[in-house]
Structure 1
Amino acid sequence: MGTGSAAILGTWRDQLWSNYVRLESRSDSSEFYGSVAQIVPGSPRFTLVRSTAQLTERTPALVRTDRSEYLLLSFMRVGHWYLEQDDRRTELLPGQFAIYDSTRPYRLHADGPFEQMVFRMPRALMECRMPRLSHMTARAYDSGSGPGALVAGFVNLLAGHAQSLSPDAVESFEIAGADLIATALALLGEGSGARSASLFERIVAKLSNQVLDDGFDFAVYARQQGMSLRSLQRLFHENGTTPRAWLLQRRLDNIASQLRSPAFAQRSITEIALSSGFNDLTYFNRMFRARFSATPSQWRRSTGRDKS
């Protein structure tokens, strides 16, 4: 590789690091080209990526040293590449999208030029809605029909209007859209062979907007879904949790997200906790610290917002 191409590859790595997570990238091409353009200047949420043949990796060592937690949704426009994660390898073609998770190693390999749009979203937004995210990574989904078209439509619409919206408004739409994305992915997951996981993900996606009510009752919800409470409990157990543990995690993750969101900067911690289903603040503070190794005030202070 010539000096000029080596310099371009170095710039490419810098762009990857500043917009996504720590990655290693290499190319054998003597005419390598790569660029990452932010659709909204100053924000890495939506990016347009163009590159020639190359291999980009999120190695185990980088996962250990860089704790960034994002989900990346790639929508292929031109060309193709291969994605490897969670013991799966898939080819992504134009009109398809795929998901990869920055908390685990992955590889992206392109053997020719390609162009894609990438939507970067906080992993916590989807983790509480889809506890088995590893079932959805490294699979190619159709952007043009069915549930996949809903995901692509939402992401493209938000990307197209993001520049005319305030950052707080974009973040609010992103939070609201997480339920749509989770529901669509759960439906798409039915084709992966993980039927119990797909049913579970549909159930928790429907639950997401209800569990913030301090009067929420799983027995009532089970009847509404046409199943017994015992069947609902068994479904949670098959997916590695219990209704009570999932409910607590969902509420705590919702609060943690709000405490770091500019959209909720004027709300006190007490208001946020009460509106998220906690009517015992002592219990809330104890559970929050156990999950995040920080008090709610410390968590909020780390973003420069300290309204208790």
Structure 2
Amino acid sequence: MMTGSVFSTDELPSQERAQAWRDWMSTLFFGLESDLYGAEVFEGHLSNACAGDVIMTRLDANRHRVIRSPRLARASEASYIKIIAPWEGNAAVEQHGRQAWVRPGGWAIYDTTGSYEVANPERSHHLIVMLPKEQLTERGLRLDSLMGRHVGGASGISRVALEAMRHTYQELPSMTPEAARGAGDLILEMVRLSLQELAGRGNGATQREAFKDRIRDYIGQHLRDPALSLDRIAEVLRCSKRHLHQAFADEEVTLAQFILQRRLQACMRDLRNPLHQPRTITDIAFSWGFNNGAHFSRVFREHAGLSPSDFRAASLAASQH
């Protein structure tokens, strides 16, 4: 019988739960920072087990974000490809300038050897799967262009892979080590096939993803420019605004919302960073393309659940523990 580790805040005093959660997330996932959106009381549960070389974790927690900074990525020797597959709630994965929203019935993928962020804006019930990176690349599959993407889950091999991951996790307690290793090897192969299909050339889906990458790259390079707009992007990329909207039609957010979220996430990073403590909140906001303090405060509170000043105070206090 396969057994794993279980972590729960249920038995902890309320004042100890947030820090315990941060410690568990950092340990289980080889170096992560956790942002709890300033929550004073946090509830979370983690349960993990292994299917051979594949690490599987069930996460059930209040809204939160995790950040793997470039420093943490460099400091870790762990080399995994991670998958997030929600049972409930949704998540936004950001890596290499790409952002992929994933909801129940789908899965997204990212690389632990690079920096990334995963936002869980509502209570989350996710399956997180970690696969040894070298076992996916040993046949020459190039992964960089595939990370930070929504892979699928609605049909085809990506759906078969998703069901295999879910069923394997659920049945691990009754598997022998040999059976669990075989199931893990099967998951690795189906994920590899899913990524190979995602990397295919010449189909409409691939061309749309390439166009979305061009849009995201331009946004990333001009995020600090207050004049960044859909009109400007359409002019530079020589397309219509309608074409821009169509490219993002299958995303969780509109293109304008994507730009706003990227700016807010950049502000949150600076507000969390002790090195930026001497800077005013207004200076940070305006450096990322905002030009109205009242508007920034309102949209920041809607996104983070706290005012910018309260978010900064809570984040800096947490970093000192």
Q: Same fold (TM over 0.5)?
A: yes
One-letter amino acid of the counterpart of residue 117, structure 2: R
Q: Show the counterpart of 2:162.
A: 152
Q: Show the counterpart of 2:85.
A: 75
Q: Show the counterpart of 2:319.
A: none
In 1, the alpha carbon distance for the partners of 2:176 and 2:17 equals: 33
The structural deviation recorded for 1:6 is 5.2
Q: Residues 154 and 162 from structure 1, CA distance in 2 versus in 1: closer, same or farther, beyond 3 angstroms?
A: same
Matches within 5 A, 1:182-201: 182-190=192-200, 191-193=205-207
Q: Residues 6 and 108 from structure 1, CA distance in 2 versus in 1: closer, same or farther, beyond 3 angstroms?
A: farther
Q: 1:55 aligns with which of 52, 65, 88?
A: 65
- TM-score if structure 1 supplies the norm length? 0.56
In 2, the alpha carbon distance for the partners of 1:91 and 1:61 equals: 25
* Residues matched between the structures, number: 193
One-letter amino acid of the counterpart of residue 45, structure 1: I
Q: Show the counterpart of 1:8.
A: 17
Determine if the alignment matches structure 1 residue 113 to structure 2 residue 116. no
Determine if the alignment matches structure 1 residue 103 to structure 2 residue 113. yes
The structural deviation recorded for 1:20 is 1.9
Q: Show the counterpart of 2:35.
A: 26
In 1, the alpha carbon distance for the partners of 2:15 and 2:41 equals: 9
Superposed CA deviations along residues 100-146 of structure 1, whole A, max 9, x for unmatched, are 11101000112221110111221111121353112222112332312
Q: Residues 164 and 131 from structure 1, CA distance in 2 versus in 1: closer, same or farther, beyond 3 angstroms?
A: same
Q: Residues 173 and 112 from structure 1, CA distance in 2 versus in 1: closer, same or farther, beyond 3 angstroms?
A: closer
Q: Show the counterpart of 2:133.
A: 123
The structural deviation recorded for 1:160 is 2.8
Is the 1:45–1:119 Cα contact (8 Å) retained in structure 2?
A: yes
In 2, the alpha carbon distance for the partners of 1:39 and 1:175 equals: 15
- TM-score if structure 2 supplies the norm length? 0.54
Secondary structure of the residue aligned to 1:22 is: coil
Is the 1:147–1:185 Cα contact (8 Å) retained in structure 2?
A: no
Q: CA RMSD in A?
A: 2.8
Q: Show the counterpart of 1:84.
A: 94
In 2, the alpha carbon distance for the partners of 1:101 and 1:194 equals: 22
Q: Show the counterpart of 1:93.
A: 103
Superposed CA deviations along residues 60-104 of structure 1, whole A, max 9, x for unmatched, are 111111111111111111111211111101111121101111101
* Long gaps (5+) in structure 2: 1-11, 210-321
Matches within 5 A, 1:236-275: none
Is the 1:20–1:44 Cα contact (8 Å) retained in structure 2?
A: no
Q: Show the counterpart of 2:171.
A: 161
Secondary structure of the residue aligned to 2:149 is: coil
Q: Show the counterpart of 1:46.
A: 56
Secondary structure of the residue aligned to 1:154 is: helix
The structural deviation recorded for 1:18 is 3.1
Determine if the alignment matches structure 1 residue 134 to structure 2 residue 144. yes
Is the 2:57–2:128 Cα contact (8 Å) retained in structure 1?
A: yes
Superposed CA deviations along residues 230-270 of structure 1, whole A, max 9, x for unmatched, are xxxxxxxxxxxxxxxxxxxxxxxxxxxxxxxxxxxxxxxxx
In 2, the alpha carbon distance for the partners of 1:118 and 1:194 equals: 27
Q: Show the counterpart of 1:265.
A: none
Q: Residues 83 and 102 from structure 1, CA distance in 2 versus in 1: closer, same or farther, beyond 3 angstroms?
A: same
- State the identity %: 20
Determine if the alignment matches structure 1 residue 17 to structure 2 residue 26. yes
Q: Show the counterpart of 1:225.
A: none
In 1, the alpha carbon distance for the partners of 2:105 and 2:144 equals: 22
Greater RCO (CA < 8 Å, at least 6 residues apart): 2
One-letter amino acid of the counterpart of residue 97, structure 2: D
Q: Residues 48 and 84 from structure 1, CA distance in 2 versus in 1: closer, same or farther, beyond 3 angstroms?
A: same
One-letter amino acid of the counterpart of residue 93, structure 1: R
Superposed CA deviations along residues 29-54 of structure 1, whole A, max 9, x for unmatched, are 2332222112579x982211112222
Is the 2:55–2:131 Cα contact (8 Å) retained in structure 1?
A: yes
Q: Residues 117 and 176 from structure 1, CA distance in 2 versus in 1: closer, same or farther, beyond 3 angstroms?
A: closer
Q: Show the counterpart of 1:261.
A: none
